[in-house]
């Protein structure tokens, strides 16, 4: 093709969802060349029964000129059959966003100047619009012509947190339960990425996100786990160990010294890792050492160099099964409280006669 634009990566068996500015849409099999119409508003890999991807749409009705707003999911339909997101022929999509986790943004609407119309600019929250079927007409936004629609603020999910999986075979994220579950993600959550070359960074969880080939660790970002890393310093020619907590850094940073001969050895996420050190070279007859990493070095910043593992020549470092574990704090179970009984007031006692104390003190 003389003019083309990369949309997304897909397999040969994938279905593509195509939405045109007229509101007409269809699902078709991916092919090398296929004409699906002009004025394409959106094209992406279609996922059947995906109820979490929500389309936020504002369109102008072709018959009445009324502006409608709607939110819907496109879950399934017949392949190569044309459907319509709008009310009638001649309609036009004025604004559309596709939200993998049901996000609802805030927008600013500017109307065309008209006599006796005072409020030409107003804000709309998509979260105020209910999610309905894809064939629904929607709610009336305005009866006046619209000049422009602008995104004011990105919204958060209206469907709750979404589970994300990591498929190591293709090194991609997915919502389909393939691979390792990274957890439930909300709008502000991030993925922590660490590579064997010594890079640490934060990433979003969009399915189109690409990751490094030398991926070492990928997980939901959390500041609580302690990482224990052993590496060989090419400049100092010794093995080093360091323990650190992950820190929020959008830009890629290094947790291992950069050198042509520096190499990563191992990483552990156990709270109390045990390491076995075997010596080599002129120290190969030296007995194997076992160290408790938590006792050997304190937790510092990921930027710290760390502590030299040994002054002797190290042949190999391996992780052993830990013997210590972090105690889990179990909240105490409170016993059910019985309703308090009403305290009976003590009866009034007559004062004893002056001649009879009755075992009590006399009052004067």
User: Are residues 110 and 166 both part of a single domain?
Assistant: no
User: Are residues 262 and 288 both part of a single domain?
Assistant: yes
Any idea what DSSP says for residue 246? -
User: Are residues 289 and 171 both part of a single domain?
Assistant: yes
**46/141: higher pLDDT:** 141
User: Are residues 114 and 186 both part of a single domain?
Assistant: no
HSE (side-chain half, CA atoms, 13 Å) at 211: 28
Helix (H, G, I), strand (E, B) or coil at 293: helix
Q: Is residue 363 part of a domain?
A: no
Q: Which of 49-63, 79-93, 146-160 has the lowest mean pLDDT?
A: 146-160
Find where tokens 């109820």 sit: 51
Q: Is residue 261 part of a domain?
A: yes
User: Are residues 205 and 262 both part of a single domain?
Assistant: yes
Q: Is residue 329 part of a domain?
A: no
Residue 352's pLDDT is 44
User: Are residues 181 and 302 both part of a single domain?
Assistant: yes
Q: Which of 115-119, 262-266, 305-309, 324-328 has the lowest mean pLDDT?
A: 324-328
Number of domains in the chain: 2
Find where tokens 């929607």 sit: 138
Position 162 confidence tier, pLDDT thresholds 50, 70, 90? confident
Which of 102, 42, 34, 39 lies closest to 72, judged by CA?
102
Whether 356 has a pLDDT exceeding 70, the answer reads no
Domain housing 34: 15-153
Which of 101, 135, 153 corresponds to the end of one domain?
Answer: 153
User: Are residues 144 and 167 both part of a single domain?
Assistant: no
User: Can you say whether the dihedral through the CA atoms of 222, 226, 232, 238 is positive or negative?
Assistant: positive
Q: Is residue 110 part of a domain?
A: yes
User: Are residues 213 and 312 both part of a single domain?
Assistant: yes
Q: Is residue 305 part of a domain?
A: yes
Q: Which H or E run includes 295?
A: helix 293-296
**328/280: higher pLDDT:** 280
Query: Which residues have CB under 8 Å from 336's CB, separation 6+?
Result: none
**37/174: higher pLDDT:** 174
Q: What mean pLDDT, rounded, does the chain reach?
A: 86
Q: Is residue 358 part of a domain?
A: no
User: Are residues 76 and 204 both part of a single domain?
Assistant: no
| Torsion of Cα atoms, 99 then 100 then 104 then 109, to 10° | 0
User: Can you say whether the dihedral through the CA atoms of 230, 310, 290, 294 is positive or negative?
Assistant: negative
Write out pLDDT tens, residues 198-225.
999 999 888 888 899 999 999 999 988 9
Whether 334 has a pLDDT exceeding 70, the answer reads no
User: Are residues 300 and 168 both part of a single domain?
Assistant: yes
Rounded CA separation 175/165 (Å):
6
Residue 341's pLDDT is 56
Residue 1's pLDDT is 40
Position 328 confidence tier, pLDDT thresholds 50, 70, 90? low
Q: Is residue 179 part of a domain?
A: yes
Which of 126, 153, 180 corresponds to the end of one domain?
Answer: 153
Rounded CA separation 285/67 (Å):
83
Which of 273, 183, 196 lies closest to 231, judged by CA?
196
User: Are residues 176 and 314 both part of a single domain?
Assistant: yes
Rounded CA separation 103/154 (Å):
8
Residue 329's pLDDT is 60
Which of 121, 153, 185 corresponds to the end of one domain?
Answer: 153
Whether 231 has a pLDDT exceeding 90, the answer reads yes
Q: Is residue 172 part of a domain?
A: yes
Residue 197's pLDDT is 93
Provide, rounded to the nearest whole percent, the portion of the chain with pLDDT above 90. 60
DSSP string, 334-359: PPPPPPPPPPPPPPPPPPPPTT--TT
User: Are residues 64 and 195 both part of a single domain?
Assistant: no
Q: Tokens at residue 110, please?
A: 């500017």
């Amino acid at each position: 093709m003389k003019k083309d634009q990369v949309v997304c990566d897909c397999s040969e068996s994938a279905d593509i969802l195509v939405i045109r500015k007229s509101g007409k849409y269809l699902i078709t099999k991916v092919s090398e060349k296929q004409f699906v119409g002009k004025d394409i508003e959106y094209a992406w890999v279609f996922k059947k029964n995906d109820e979490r991807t929500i389309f936020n749409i504002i369109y102008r009705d072709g018959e009445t000129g009324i502006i409608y707003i709607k939110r819907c999911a496109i879950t399934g339909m017949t392949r190569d059959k044309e459907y319509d997101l709008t009310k009638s022929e001649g309609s036009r999509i004025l604004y559309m966003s596709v939200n993998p986790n049901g996000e609802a943004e805030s927008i600013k609407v500017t109307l065309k100047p008209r006599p006796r119309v005072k409020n030409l600019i107003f804000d709309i929250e998509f979260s105020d619009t209910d999610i309905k079927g894809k064939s629904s007409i929607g709610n009336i936004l305005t009866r006046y012509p619209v000049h422009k629609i602008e995104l004011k603020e990105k919204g958060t999910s209206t469907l709750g947190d979404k589970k994300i999986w990591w498929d190591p075979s293709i090194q991609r994220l997915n919502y389909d339960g393939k691979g390792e579950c990274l957890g439930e993600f909300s709008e502000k959550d991030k993925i922590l990425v660490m590579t064997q070359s010594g890079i640490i960074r934060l990433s979003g969880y969009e399915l189109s996100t690409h990751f490094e080939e030398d991926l070492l660790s990928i997980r939901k970002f959390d500041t609580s786990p302690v990482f224990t890393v052993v590496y060989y310093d090419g400049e100092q020619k010794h093995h080093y160990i360091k323990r650190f907590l992950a820190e929020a850094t959008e830009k890629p940073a290094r947790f291992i010294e950069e050198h042509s001969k520096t190499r990563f050895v191992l990483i552990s996420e156990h709270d109390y890792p045990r390491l076995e050190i075997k010596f080599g070279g002129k120290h190969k007859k030296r007995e194997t050492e076992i160290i408790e990493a938590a006792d050997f070095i304190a937790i510092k910043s990921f930027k710290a160099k760390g502590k030299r593992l040994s002054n002797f020549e190290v042949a190999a470092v391996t992780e052993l099964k830990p013997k210590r574990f972090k105690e889990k704090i179990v909240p105490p179970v409170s016993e059910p409280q019985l309703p308090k009984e009403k305290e009976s007031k003590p009866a009034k006692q007559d004062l004893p006669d002056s001649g009879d104390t009755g075992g009590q003190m006399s009052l004067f």
